[in-house]
Structure 1
Amino acid sequence: MKLVVKKLQGGECCVEALPSTLISEIKRDIYNKLRIPVQEQKLLFLGRTLADEQTVQSYPLIKDGTKLNLVVKKPDGFYETCVKVYKKSGMSDAEAKKTAARLLKVVEEKFNKLSWDDIERLSADCLAYESGQRRPAPVEQETDSDDLFTL
C-alpha cells in the first residue's frame, strides 16, 4: 500500500508499506527521502502517535492512500545531551547538570582560542563526516635546504 507522509512544516513524500511493515521501517524510508533523522521523527495518524515497534496492520484504519502527519522533533542540544549521558552513568540530576555546565564552559573556552584556520578545518571535517566522506590527511612536504634561501 502507498502511504502519504505530510510534514507539518511543509513537504511530503510517499512510502510503500505492507501490513507487516514496522513503523520504524517507514521512518527509515522517510529518512531516505526527506533526510530527517529517524530519532527526530514523530509519526501521527488521527492525532495519535504511531509506535515504532508496531506494524501498519496494528492500526486498522490505515489503508492504501492514508495520510500520516510527520512532526519533526527538535534535537537535544549539547548541554541536554551531556546531562542525559551523565545521568545514565549514575550521576544525580544536580551533579549531571553541574558537570555538563562545566564541560560546556571548557568547550567554549577552547573554541574561543582556535584560529580561523583551525575553525575552517574543523568545519570542513564536520561537513565531510556528516556526508560520509573523510578529508584526506594533510601531506607534510619536506623542504630542501636550498629552498629556504631562494627568493
Structure 2
Amino acid sequence: MNIIIKQLQGGECSLQVQPSTKISEIKSHIATTLRIPISEQKLLLLGRTLADDQTVQSYPQIKNGTKLNLVVKKPEGLLEVSTKYFKKHGMSEMEAKNAANRLLKVVEEKFNKLSWDDIERLSLDCMIEECGHLQPALEQEQETECEDAFGL
C-alpha cells in the first residue's frame, strides 16, 4: 500500500509499505530520503504518536493513501546535552549546569580563534561525515574558487 508522509513544516513524500512494515522502518526510510535523523522524528496519525515497535497493520486506520504527519523535534543543544552528561556522571543539577556553561564558553573561545579556512575545512569534514561525500555543487564550487584564486 502507498502512504504519504507529510512534514508539518511543508513537503511530503510517498512510501510503499506492507502491513508487516514496522514504524521504525518507515522512520529509517524518512531518514534516508528526507535526511532527518530518526531521533528527531515523531510520526502522528490522527494526532497520536505511532510506536516504533508496532507494524502498519497495528493501526487499522492506515490504509492505502493515508497521510501520516511528521513532526521534526528540535535537537538538543550542546548546553542541554552536556548538562545531562555531567549529571549522569555524578554531578548535582547546579554543578552540571555550571560545568556545561564553562564548556560552552571554552568551545566558543576556541571557535572564535579559528580562521575562515579552518571553519570551512571543519564544515566540509562534517558534511563528508554526514553524507559520505561532498555534494556535486560543493565540489564544483571548490574547483571554481581555486581557479579564481590562481586566475585560471
Q: What TM-score, normalized by structure 2, do the two folds share?
A: 0.80
Note the aligned Cα RMSD (angstroms).
Answer: 1.7
Q: Which amino acid aligns with 2:110?
A: K
Query: Alpha-carbon deviations, 1:85-144, whole Å to 9, x = none?
Result: 22233332222211111111111111122223322222222222222249xxxxxxxxxx
Between stretches 34-43 and 116-125, larger displacement belongs to 116-125
* Structure 1 residues without counterparts, runs of 5 or longer: 135-151
SS at match of 1:90: coil
Rounded Cα–Cα distance in structure 1 between residues aligned with 2:2 and 2:29: 12
**What residue in structure 2 maps to residue 112 of structure 1?**
112
Rounded Cα–Cα distance in structure 1 between residues aligned with 2:58 and 2:92: 39
The 1:133–1:33 alpha-carbon spacing in structure 2 relative to 1, beyond 3 Å, is closer
SS at match of 2:24: helix
Rounded Cα–Cα distance in structure 2 between residues aligned with 1:86 and 1:133: 34
Residue 79 of structure 1, CA deviation: 1.1
| Structure with greater Cα Rg | 1
The 1:90–1:64 alpha-carbon spacing in structure 2 relative to 1, beyond 3 Å, is farther
The 1:32–1:124 alpha-carbon spacing in structure 2 relative to 1, beyond 3 Å, is closer
Alignment of 1:19-34 (within 5 A): 19-34=19-34
Rounded Cα–Cα distance in structure 1 between residues aligned with 2:131 and 2:33: 15
Residue 19 of structure 1, CA deviation: 1.7
SS at match of 2:70: strand
* Structure 2 residues without counterparts, runs of 5 or longer: 135-152
**What residue in structure 2 maps to residue 89 of structure 1?**
89
**Match status 1:124 vs 2:141:** no
Q: What TM-score, normalized by structure 1, do the two folds share?
A: 0.80
Rounded Cα–Cα distance in structure 1 between residues aligned with 2:96 and 2:12: 39
Q: Which amino acid aligns with 2:51?
A: A
SS at match of 1:71: strand
Residue 67 of structure 1, CA deviation: 0.9
- After TM superposition, what 4+ stretches of structure 1 lie above 6 angstroms from structure 2? none
The 1:39–1:115 alpha-carbon spacing in structure 2 relative to 1, beyond 3 Å, is same
Q: Which has the higher helix share?
A: 2
